[in-house]
Amino acid sequence: MTVTVEQTRTRFSDGRRIVLDENARLLNSVAGEHWDRAGALITSARTVFVIGNGRSGLAVQMAAMRLMHLGLRVHVAGEVTAPAVGAGDVLIAVSGSGTTASVVGAADTAKKVGASVLAVTTASDSPLARRADEVLVLPAADKQDHSAAITRQYAGSLFEQSVLLAFDALFQALWHNVDQTAERLWERHANIG
């Protein structure tokens, strides 16, 4: 099959419109007060831990980096240098379905030792959501929903994108609340590796 440059431009343009429109619709539907409460929970924590698998895990790791730039103590759960979670900490647990075994298990451990759990999911009635102190619902399709009723994108793409974008929006809000310059945040940016 040969694809011409004109066909490629049209296809990219259509794909871009789908991604932008779906993310705008989703993010505009999110309850801001829940994210404000999440921001308070995160900034008052002794240490912030994040966990997620696959692309969801990558998105929450990007959020962790921005929280670190704010000066918060942040660790990716499961990394060899991550300390034990404990009382006064918060675990940001991300799973579109809310059933990912390792993420739900981490939430159980966090709750057992007195840490707070912040669940980010599409499913407000999921096992992960039931373990959480605060549930942030991103109304994207489950990755096994192939109906195209909620998203025309593949698998969990809309959820994963919205995790990144919602946390970037939360970062913007938190950054302006702490009144730190971009130069101050940059001092915390990685400079080796």
What are 134's strand-pairing partners?
A: 118
Sign of the dihedral through C-alpha 93, 98, 99, 100: negative
| Residue 103 near residue 77, CB atoms below 8 Å | no
Catalytic residue among 22, 134, 160, 183: 160
Half-sphere exposure of 109 (CA within 13 A, CB side): 16
- Taking the C-alpha atoms of residue 65 and residue 85, their distance in angstroms, rounded to an integer, is 18
Owner of token pair 């966990």: 51
The one-letter amino acid code at 97 reads S
- Taking the C-alpha atoms of residue 125 and residue 146, their distance in angstroms, rounded to an integer, is 21
Is-catalytic flag, 160? Answer: yes
The DSSP result for 141-175, as a single string, is: PPTT--S-SS-SSSTTHHHHHHHHHHHHHHHHHHH
Residues marked active site are found at 160
